[in-house]
Structure 1
Amino acid sequence: AAVEALVAATVDAYGGVDIVVNNAATNPHFGPVLTAEESHWDKTFDVNVKGYLRLIKACVPSMQARGGGKIINMASIAGKTPQPGMGVYCVTKAGVIMLTEVLAAELAPLNVQVNAIAPGFVKTKFSAAIWADEQLNTATLAAIPQQRMAEPEEIAGIALYLASPASSFTTGATILVDGGQAIGSPLYNLK
């Protein structure tokens, strides 16, 4: 009911919905997947996948009435590459990537583009457990060819592109913003 009320208030205030950015996430369990309680799975899926779907379902009728729209889902490198201790989160972010692709195909005839952004490590409160711990931070940065975490503004730039008319022929894409983490760090430097 809260999502429907939010969308109704948005339509009343602005005349409709043109862009949806799904950015909510949670990760209540850190550790091996088999040690996660069922409640951890339920909470993580409810926020990270079902929450996205609820908002999209509520917004698509307005987008359809307005002749199209943009949906941007925040995925993660964790949805493409397993991250130690974050298995439950990884599974949900893989779900976000597939949800993005399925909806891109289903909503394309309505002129609604659906894309995902898959950040690597971004220096936010959400990743503080990593960057605030010297040992974890050093190990993390060693896995990123650019040797640093992203700043939130670097993710925002991709979102601006996906929300703009410049991306009108881009749908079903997952854009990695990870400093090269997915390709891996070189074994040695040729300097």
Structure 2
Amino acid sequence: MASNPFDISGRLALVTGSSRGLGNALARGLAEQGAKVIIHGRSRDTVDAAARDIANATGAEVSGVTFDVTDAEEVRSQLTALIEQHGVPDILVNNAGLQRRAPFTEFDPEDWDAVLATNLSSAFYVSRAITPAMAERGSGKVVNIGSVQSKLARQTIAPYGASKGGVVMLTQGMAADLARYNIQVNCISPGYFRTDMNTALWQDDDFNAWIEKRTPAARWGEVEELVGTLLYLCSNASSFVSGQNILVDGGMTSVV
């Protein structure tokens, strides 16, 4: 009987920004499929609580790590310690993200810096700290979390769109450099999902109506609907797939 190409049981996965929200759902999805998961966040209490919750719900081996993804030196030191303690991750999911909203003419430069640092620079810092060890081993999976906003602009979030567009190009650049080491690097770009970051939007009746009209699926996505794509990109089923941006958006980017 042929082995299951989607099997990730026993693989070690680090998911940044996974103590809550979309990242938490992704980490839980990997744990449900038998991966050993490392939860990440900035608050030790929140990370520990999330790790316990996922471990109790799935029976998986779950641990936690805390560091500021925007601090390159802290990322380096903490991930060096993580590798010494747990080994080299088989799977890295760069999910940590931040949203700030304001009209472009009023957007604060400090908010621009915060959005770019959290959404784009962090993916570079964390990947730069992990992928050399993956390359030395000769295998690895990196999944960056982009956004439908990497392809479609919307008012008040120009910096967010710029950061996610950068994530897509970073993905392609990483794939070009790392494929020779049997490291596949891909991007998942969600459409509109019911997450903590989007609370103000899905609680707005007018915006809900726009989403239902604009999206062929006529609804918001549920975070669990991202897990299947993640599993594919983290498994041997995608062994010759690299540098791709998969939009999980209910068809939004396919229509005008």
Q: Do they fold alike, i.e. is TM over 0.5?
A: yes
Structure 2 residue 157 is the aligned partner of structure 1 residue 98: no
Structure 2 residue 137 is the aligned partner of structure 1 residue 34: no
User: What runs of 5+ residues in structure 2 fail to find an aligned partner?
Assistant: 1-72
CA distance in 2, matches of 1:84, 1:150: 21
Q: Describe the superposition over 1:158-184 as per-residue Cα deviations: whole angstroms up to 9, x where unpaired.
A: 111101011110000000000001012
Counterpart of 2:224 (choices 131, 139, 153) is 153
Q: 1:146: how far off?
A: 0.3
Residue in 2 that maps onto 1:70 = 141
Q: Secondary structure at the match of 2:130?
A: helix
CA distance in 2, matches of 1:31, 1:53: 26
CA distance in 1, matches of 2:221, 2:143: 19
Residue in 2 that maps onto 1:2 = 74
Structure 2 residue 136 is the aligned partner of structure 1 residue 60: no
Q: Secondary structure at the match of 1:81?
A: coil
Residue in 2 that maps onto 1:132 = 203
Q: Describe the superposition over 1:73-112 as per-residue Cα deviations: whole angstroms up to 9, x where unpaired.
A: 0000000111222111001100000100111111111111
CA distance in 2, matches of 1:6, 1:111: 25
CA distance in 2, matches of 1:159, 1:64: 21
Structure 2 residue 94 is the aligned partner of structure 1 residue 22: yes
Superposition TM-score, scaled by structure 2 size? 0.69
**In structure 2, what residue type is equivalent to 1:138?**
A
Residue in 2 that maps onto 1:189 = none
Alignment length (residue pairs): 184
| 8 Å contact kept, 2:99–2:197 | no
Q: Secondary structure at the match of 2:185?
A: strand
Q: Secondary structure at the match of 1:121?
A: coil
Q: Describe the superposition over 1:117-175 as per-residue Cα deviations: whole angstroms up to 9, x where unpaired.
A: 00000111111111101111111221101011111111122111101011110000000
CA distance in 2, matches of 1:141, 1:24: 27
Residue in 1 that maps onto 2:243 = 172
Q: Secondary structure at the match of 2:189?
A: strand
| 8 Å contact kept, 1:97–1:116 | yes
Moved more, 114-123 or 134-143: 134-143
**In structure 1, what residue type is equivalent to 2:207?**
L
Q: Secondary structure at the match of 1:116?
A: strand
Q: Secondary structure at the match of 2:88?
A: coil
Structure of greater relative contact order (alpha carbons < 8 Å, 6+ residues apart): 1
Q: 1:43: how far off?
A: 0.5
What RMSD over aligned residues (CA atoms) do the two structures have, in Å?
Answer: 1.2
User: What runs of 5+ residues in structure 1 fail to find an aligned partner?
Assistant: 186-191
Superposition TM-score, scaled by structure 1 size? 0.92
| 8 Å contact kept, 2:104–2:158 | yes
CA distance in 1, matches of 2:105, 2:141: 37
| 8 Å contact kept, 2:135–2:178 | no
Moved over 3 A (4+): none
CA distance in 2, matches of 1:109, 1:35: 44
**In structure 2, what residue type is equivalent to 1:153?**
E
Q: Secondary structure at the match of 2:142?
A: strand
CA distance in 1, matches of 2:132, 2:167: 21
